């Protein structure tokens, strides 16, 4: 297998609204990734930057493989670009190294932005903004389908996961 031949140590995945295809990985696909990573002892970096847009909950790969998955999400893409707050869930063995790396690149957050995020989440305002984003995406997709439905906009070949 490629993992053994190329000495691959990990996987970087975007399970939801992958760019440029906007593909959403199925629950079975997520389980398959977790199984492969477990079998070959790979670390998985799961970039869930758009996962909050999902209307149907899909378990992240991290839920199947918590000791080998670094899960990352943010509010900047979903709530507001200026709200540059990221959340990282990482296995214990990577916490110190990740914390040091973030400190060394001087990545810190404003307490003011953190407080804004907290208030938006606890008040329900964040959910309202997420729902507005979903509604906007549905509206834009409807327009695209109305005017471009006769065109083959994207053709994916050699897809090995079931979705």
List pLDDT tens digits, range 91-113. 999 999 988 888 777 666 778 88
User: Cα 155 to chain center, whole Å?
Assistant: 23
Q: Could you tell me the CATH number of the domain that includes residue 110? A: 3.40.640.10
Domain of 92 in residue numbering reads as: 2-148
Structural domains of the chain, count: 1
Residue 161 lies in a domain: no
What is the β-pairing status of strands 10-13 and 43-47?
Answer: parallel
List pLDDT tens digits, range 16-71. 988 777 889 999 999 999 999 999 999 999 999 989 888 889 999 999 999 999 99
Residue 33 lies in a domain: yes
Residue 101 lies in a domain: yes
**CA dihedral defined by 89, 92, 60, 120, rounded to 10 degrees?**
-20
């Amino acid at each position: 297998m490629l993992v053994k031949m190329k000495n691959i140590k990990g996987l970087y995945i975007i399970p939801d609204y992958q760019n440029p295809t906007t593909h959403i990985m199925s629950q079975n696909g997520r389980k398959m990734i977790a199984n492969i990573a477990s079998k070959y002892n790979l670390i998985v970096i799961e970039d869930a930057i758009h996962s909050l847009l999902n209307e149907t909950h899909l378990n992240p790969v991290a839920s199947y493989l918590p000791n080998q998955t670094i899960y990352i999400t943010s509010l900047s893409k979903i709530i507001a670009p200026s709200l540059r707050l990221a959340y990282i869930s990482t296995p214990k063995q990577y916490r110190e190294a990740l914390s040091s790396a973030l400190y060394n690149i001087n990545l810190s957050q404003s307490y003011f932005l953190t407080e804004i995020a907290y208030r938006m989440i606890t008040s329900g305002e964040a959910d309202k903004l997420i729902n507005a984003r979903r509604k906007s995406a549905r509206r834009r997709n409807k327009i695209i389908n109305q005017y471009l439905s006769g065109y083959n906009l994207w053709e994916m070949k050699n897809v090995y996961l079931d979705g």
